Amino acid sequence: MIEFRNVSKMYPNGTKGLNNINLNIQKGEFVVMVGLSGAGKSTLLRSVNRLHEITEG
Protein backbone atom coordinates (compact mmCIF):
# COMPACT_ATOMS: atom_id res chain seq x y z
CA MET A 1 0.00 0.00 0.00
CA ILE A 2 1.10 3.55 -0.70
CA GLU A 3 -0.47 6.33 1.32
CA PHE A 4 0.16 10.07 1.33
CA ARG A 5 -1.67 12.36 3.75
CA ASN A 6 -1.56 16.12 3.31
CA VAL A 7 1.75 15.93 1.43
CA SER A 8 3.32 19.09 0.07
CA LYS A 9 6.60 19.71 -1.74
CA MET A 10 8.11 23.18 -1.90
CA TYR A 11 11.12 23.81 -4.11
CA PRO A 12 13.93 26.13 -2.94
CA ASN A 13 12.69 28.91 -5.26
CA GLY A 14 9.29 28.87 -3.48
CA THR A 15 7.38 27.00 -6.18
CA LYS A 16 4.98 24.35 -4.88
CA GLY A 17 5.41 21.05 -6.69
CA LEU A 18 2.70 19.37 -4.61
CA ASN A 19 0.06 21.06 -2.49
CA ASN A 20 -1.74 19.08 0.22
CA ILE A 21 -1.96 15.78 -1.73
CA ASN A 22 -3.89 12.80 -0.35
CA LEU A 23 -3.32 9.46 -2.07
CA ASN A 24 -4.13 5.87 -1.14
CA ILE A 25 -3.17 3.02 -3.47
CA GLN A 26 -3.96 -0.52 -2.37
CA LYS A 27 -1.95 -3.62 -3.29
CA GLY A 28 -2.92 -4.83 -6.77
CA GLU A 29 -4.49 -1.54 -7.87
CA PHE A 30 -3.48 0.10 -11.13
CA VAL A 31 -3.21 3.88 -11.16
CA VAL A 32 -2.89 6.25 -14.11
CA MET A 33 -1.81 9.86 -13.65
CA VAL A 34 -2.63 12.43 -16.29
CA GLY A 35 -2.30 16.19 -16.25
CA LEU A 36 -0.86 19.23 -17.89
CA SER A 37 2.84 19.94 -18.01
CA GLY A 38 3.94 21.27 -14.63
CA ALA A 39 0.96 19.78 -12.77
CA GLY A 40 3.17 17.70 -10.42
CA LYS A 41 2.99 14.21 -11.94
CA SER A 42 6.76 13.65 -11.96
CA THR A 43 7.17 15.29 -8.56
CA LEU A 44 4.58 12.94 -7.08
CA LEU A 45 6.23 9.84 -8.57
CA ARG A 46 9.67 10.98 -7.43
CA SER A 47 8.29 11.57 -3.94
CA VAL A 48 6.73 8.09 -3.83
CA ASN A 49 10.12 6.63 -4.77
CA ARG A 50 11.86 8.89 -2.20
CA LEU A 51 13.89 10.61 -4.89
CA HIS A 52 12.46 13.93 -3.63
CA GLU A 53 12.05 14.89 -0.01
CA ILE A 54 8.57 16.10 0.83
CA THR A 55 8.21 19.39 2.68
CA GLU A 56 5.10 18.50 4.70
CA GLY A 57 2.99 15.44 5.37
Residue at 31 is within a domain: yes
Residue at 55 is within a domain: no
Residue at 35 is within a domain: yes
Domain count along the chain: 1
**Which residues is 16 bridged to in the sheet?**
10
51 pLDDT more than 90: no
Question: Length of the chain, please?
Answer: 57
Q: What tens digit of pLDDT does each residue of 1-49 get?
A: 999 999 999 999 999 989 999 999 999 999 999 999 988 899 998 988 8
Structural domain containing residue 16 = 2-48
Residue at 32 is within a domain: yes
What was the pLDDT predicted at 42? 92
Residues 6+ apart with CB under 8 A from 15: none
Residue at 7 is within a domain: yes
pTM: predicted TM-score of the whole model, two decimal places:
0.76
38: Cα separation from own chain's centroid: 12
- Termini Cα distance of the chain: 17
Residue at 54 is within a domain: no
Residue at 57 is within a domain: no
